[in-house]
Amino acid sequence: MSFMERQAGRFRHAAGAGRALALVLTLATAAGPACAGPFKPWIDGTDAAEPATQTQRYDRDTYVIRQSLRTNFEGPFLYLLFGRDRALLLDTGAGNVKIRPAVEAVIAGWLKAHGRASIPLVVAHSHGHGDHHQGDAEFADRPDTTVVGLKPEDVAAFFGIADWPKQIATFDLGGRKLSVIPTPGHHPAHIMIYDPKTRLLLSGDTLYPGRIYVPSNRFGELQDSLDRVAAFGATHKVAWALGAHIEMSRKPGEEFPDRPPHPDEHPLELPFSALLELQAAIHGMAGKPARAVRDDFVVTPILPR
Ligand SMILES: [Zn+2]
Ligand SMILES: [Zn+2]
């Protein structure tokens, strides 16, 4: 539950929904951002002494790791989700840093908290671009660990997707049945992961507060992917979409250059409405790829590939 929802609940109790909304809007305006999110501030490259990685706990079975922009300008976000039977690491970073120690620290803490000696680990990827799998080799010889390949056929085979990209697969971590949604467009092997436990949608590079890069010959594929996720969202509640980068400030539509620092960075989390806004922007192009600036993302066509 967010700060805004908590406050809304409190005020609704005391003063009725209408007045509560007015109060919340006043608070939100005074505070700047419309809604306090689930995370503390991320390392943003503004501090020369910031650590190479930062881990934040979303809940006791869900962790987010950011790689410092100072180690690589991409500053990607990685996700580590635990179930009863296995854990899933989504992405391994952009390189120029050892990522496995940060992952091992989270796993060790989780095992201790759960009185467990071990848990199998699956290392998969939001997609196959180089800024999301540079740490794969660090996991190659890790016991009880599977590293999923980077091509659409590797991803489809591992998750049991017979009809890529139309089929949405279920991947059970043990009491935690994730939905794996093929979302080619930005990259042919892109997937989004939906977690019913947290209602998080891990949206990779297909939706994040920054430049949504799409090869100009793949807008149709992206449109189909967004339609697929939008339809999924119509029947599944999404708390937040969490992507793989932040490339904008809190000022609507303002992009950072491809280097640190990122002062006054946009929050990582986006509401599901941002995905619908992206879907509408792509549909609005009617097959003619074009740059489109919105408050929370910038559609950025790149050369065909
Ligand atoms: Zn990418
Ligand atoms: Zn990326």
- Domain membership of residue 51 (yes or no) is yes
Q: Cα angle at 250 between 213 and 221, to 5 degrees?
A: 20
DSSP assignment, residue 31?
Answer: H
Give residue-wise pLDDT tens across range 65-89. Answer: 999 999 999 999 999 999 999 999 9
Q: Give domain status of residue 20, yes or no.
A: no
Tally of structural domains, the chain: 1
87-111 in b/e form (b: 16+ CB < 10 A) is: bbbbbbbbbebebbebbeebbeebe
CATH number at residue 198: 3.60.15.10
Q: What percent of the chain has pLDDT over 70?
A: 89
For range 256-268, the mean pLDDT: 97
Ligand found nearest the CA of 188: 1
265 to 39, 140, 202, 291, 300: CA distances (angstroms): 13, 34, 19, 22, 19
Domain residues for the domain of 237 are 45-302
Q: Which runs of consecutive H residues, i.e. helices, occur in 32-99? A: none
The Å distance, Cα 129 to ligand 1 centre, comes to 5
Q: Is residue 32 part of a domain?
A: no
Residue 274 has pLDDT above 50, yes or no: yes
Closest ligand by atom to 91 CA: 2
- pLDDT digit string, tens, across residues 139-178: 999 999 999 999 999 999 999 999 999 999 999 999 999 9
Q: Which residue has the tokens 């790689």?
A: 67
**Model confidence at 7: pLDDT above 70:** no
Confidence of residue 36 (pLDDT cuts 50, 70, 90): confident
Can you give the pTM of this predicted structure?
0.89
Task: Give 267's DSSP letter.
Answer: P
Distance (angstroms) between ligand 1 centre and the Cα of 290 equals: 18
Q: Is residue 3 part of a domain?
A: no
Are 34 and 252 in contact by the 8 Å Cβ rule? The answer is no
Centre of ligand 2 from the C-alpha of residue 187, in Å: 10
CA–centroid distance, 190 to ligand 1, in Å, is 8
- Residue 18 lies inside a defined structural domain of this protein: no
Instruction: Calculate how far, in angstroms, residue 196's C-alpha sits from the geometric centre of ligand 1.
Output: 25
CA of 203 to the centre of ligand 1 (A): 11
251 domain residue, yes or no: yes
Cβ atoms within 10 Å of 172's Cβ, excluding its own: 12
Examine residue 33 and state whether it is found in any structural domain, yes or no.
Answer: no
The beta strands (E) that lie in the chain are given as: 53-59, 62-67, 77-82, 87-90, 121-124, 145-147, 169-172, 177-182, 191-195, 200-204, 211-215, 240-243, 269-270, 292-293, 298-302
